[in-house]
């Protein structure tokens, strides 16, 4: 009788184990929805972050697209109808969403060290780790010059030196941000003093005066500024590095000196019941290897310094990507981190003066 019980117990145990194995192999994979941007950037993330994470963690990662409007995030949080578990934000929108309580807090302690062993707090570039976000890819405003220019400008000082480098400059009129910081940097204000200087009437006057002395062409935006150089009506311009790289029949020279950078970041809508899975994805997607793989597809800089050494060539074009990246050390030496929190607070008071200034 005792032997019979032992056999039955063993068979029952094996049956339970078999059922467990079958369940693990046949159960639907958990679903994670990552909302990001259409186009090449979203495709790069799908190739470098979403699909590899899904394969490694046995998760059904589903991409969704959005247009960056916070109204969609507000609606999710209010109704608890979450269209996404993780959202790729441009940093200004993430700062605003965090201030409004629309995003989950993220403990930076969950982020692992970089591929070279450097702790995350020192591996990520300034501004990449916030109370509600983790940085992914960096983009920046750079200066460009016509390939036909006689002398090769190399610095921000050269951009403002109209005696040594003759010809018009084209700047984007779309926003005071970037322009005012650049003006004060060119006027020898220390990087750590830029925003304190802009908070004073004298400092603001100083920035506007520096721009006025340049007598620029006021382009509608970054792409329009590039067109002025392409058409030969300006010899230099400021432009977003992504717009520069998107040029198909025009290759201006690039000045990385004192680039002004922002970034895309990952965040989680507040109250999302899939928070733990979302955090796990963010840890994976902002690892050195994953960020390097995104940079292999598109010319944005990994927000982790340790990722740069892992960047290789574009899988389709064979282009060596490192020279195109804002965060490559040779390009990032004098990079300036734009303070989007400052602009959210102070930008509205400057906006009317800016509109009047560029309309003269």
Give which of 113, 63, 44, 1 is closest to 301, Cα–Cα: 44
Phi-psi region of 122 (alpha: psi -120 to 50; beta: other; left: phi over 0): alpha
pLDDT of residue 360: 84
DSSP single-letter state for residue 264: E
Q: Are 323 and 301 in contact (CB under 8 A)?
A: no
Q: What is the pTM of this model?
A: 0.90
In a 10 Å sphere around its CB, with 0-12 CB exposed, 13-18 middle and 19+ buried, how is residue 122 labelled? exposed
The share of the chain scoring above pLDDT 70, in percent, equals 92
pLDDT of residue 286: 98
DSSP single-letter state for residue 259: E
pLDDT in tens, 69-121: 999 999 999 999 999 999 999 999 999 999 999 999 999 999 999 999 999 99
Averaged over 207-216, what is the pLDDT? 97
pLDDT at 22 over 60: no
pLDDT of residue 249: 87
pLDDT of residue 148: 87
Average pLDDT score over the chain = 93
Assess if CATH 3.40.190.10 describes domain 26-138+263-332: yes
Averaged over 343-348, what is the pLDDT? 97
Taking the CA of residue 45 as centre, how many other CA atoms within 13 Å lie in the half-sphere pointing to its CB? Answer: 28
pLDDT of residue 24: 41
Q: Are 104 and 275 in contact (CB under 8 A)?
A: yes
Cβ-proximal residues to 250 (8 Å cutoff; 6+ apart), any chain: 226, 230
Q: Out of 7-16, 120-129, 175-184, 301-310, pick the least confident.
A: 7-16
pLDDT at 16 over 90: no
Q: Is the dihedral of CA 284, 288, 291, 296 positive or negative?
A: negative
The architecture in CATH of the region 140-261+338-358 reads 3-Layer(aba) Sandwich (3.40)
Q: Is the dihedral of CA 100, 124, 246, 359 positive or negative?
A: positive
Residue 342 structure tokens: 């400052």
Outline which parts of the chain fall under CATH 3.40.190.10: 26-138+263-332, 140-261+338-358
Task: Show the beta-strand stretches assigned E in 97-172.
Answer: 134-145, 169-172
Q: Are 106 and 279 in contact (CB under 8 A)?
A: yes
DSSP single-letter state for residue 252: -
pLDDT in tens, 235-291: 999 999 999 999 988 999 999 999 999 999 999 999 999 999 999 999 999 999 999
pLDDT band at 2 (very low <50, low <70, confident <90, very high): low
DSSP single-letter state for residue 17: H
């Amino acid at each position: 009788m005792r032997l019979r019980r032992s056999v039955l117990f063993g068979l029952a145990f094996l049956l339970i184990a078999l059922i467990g194995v079958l369940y693990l192999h046949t159960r639907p994979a958990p679903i994670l929805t990552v909302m990001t941007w259409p186009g090449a950037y979203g495709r790069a993330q799908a190739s470098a972050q979403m699909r590899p994470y899904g394969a490694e963690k046995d998760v059904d990662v589903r991409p969704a697209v959005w247009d960056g409007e916070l109204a969609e995030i507000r609606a999710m949080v209010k109704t608890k109808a979450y269209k996404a578990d993780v959202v790729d934000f441009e940093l200004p929108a993430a700062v605003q969403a965090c201030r409004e309580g629309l995003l989950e807090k993220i403990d930076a302690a969950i982020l692992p060290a970089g591929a070279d062993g450097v702790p995350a707090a020192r591996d990520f570039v300034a501004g990449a780790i916030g109370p509600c976000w983790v940085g992914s890819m960096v983009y920046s405003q750079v200066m460009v010059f016509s390939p036909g220019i006689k002398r090769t400008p190399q610095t921000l000082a050269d951009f403002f030196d109209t005696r040594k480098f003759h010809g018009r400059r084209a700047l984007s009129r779309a926003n005071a941000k970037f322009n005012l910081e650049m003006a004060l940097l060119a006027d020898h204000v220390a990087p750590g003093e830029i925003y304190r200087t802009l908070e004073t009437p004298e400092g603001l006057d100083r920035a506007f005066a520096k721009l006025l002395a340049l007598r620029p062409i006021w382009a509608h935006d970054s792409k329009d500024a590039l067109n002025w150089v392409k058409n030969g009506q300006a010899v230099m311009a400021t432009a977003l590095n992504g717009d520069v790289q998107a040029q198909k029949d025009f290759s201006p020279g690039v000045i990385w000196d004192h680039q002004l950078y922002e970034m895309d970041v990952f965040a989680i809508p507040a109250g999302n019941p899939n928070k733990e899975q979302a955090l796990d994805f963010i840890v994976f997607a902002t690892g050195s290897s994953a960020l390097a793989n995104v940079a292999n597809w598109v010319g944005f800089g990994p927000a982790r310094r340790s990722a740069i050494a892992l960047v290789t060539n574009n899988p389709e074009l064979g282009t060596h990507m490192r020279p195109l990246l804002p965060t490559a050390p040779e390009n990032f030496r004098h990079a300036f981190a734009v303070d989007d929190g400052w602009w959210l607070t102070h930008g509205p008071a400057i906006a009317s003066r800016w509109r009047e200034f560029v309309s003269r």
